[in-house]
Amino acid sequence: MPALHWICALTLVLVCSLSAQPVKRSTAGQKLLEKAITNFTTVIQNKCPNDTRLYSPTDIHKDCLSSALNCTIDELKVLGVECEVTQDKNFTIIKNGLMRQKWNITSNTTRDCRCELYKQTDVEQFVNNMKSLVERLNARTL
């Protein structure tokens, strides 16, 4: 019987000591992704045709974060092909970072968040908007 009391007490202590707050993502991964986006800006300036236009999420409602991220990933893939940068290491870091990061966002919304509803912008503005989206997502917790 005393052993049962110890097990209950230790379980209670363990449960009470666990924080209800989620853990922040690795800052190293965040910094790597943000640096790759910054470096990518100079890469695409010389490689992209001037008439390249991409759907670029801005003024994103909180219910549309998941759709905006998916839109950005899809448009990034288009950019990779149109600007012939799919082999660039920064492109790979960005694409993989956006796709593999656990962003803690849901897509349960009745709001219309289609990619086509966002304005098409030039490549430089697209990258700037992508950087803003990543910063916003990084500010969230797991």
pTM of the model: 0.76
Tell me the C-alpha distance between 66 and 38, whole Å.
Answer: 23
All structural domains of the chain with their residue ranges:
22-139
Q: 31 is written with which tokens?
A: 């910094």
| pLDDT tens, residue order, the chain (142 aa) | 666 656 655 565 555 555 444 444 567 777 888 899 989 988 888 889 989 999 999 999 888 999 999 999 999 999 999 999 999 999 999 999 998 877 777 776 778 889 999 999 999 999 999 999 998 888 875 4
Whether domain 22-139 has CATH 1.20.1250.70: yes
Report the half-sphere exposure of 9 (CA within 13 A, side-chain side).
Answer: 6
Map residue 31 onto helix, strand or coil: helix
Residues 6+ apart with CB under 8 A from 98: 33, 69, 72, 73, 76, 134
| Residue 103 near residue 72 (C-beta atoms within 8 A) | no
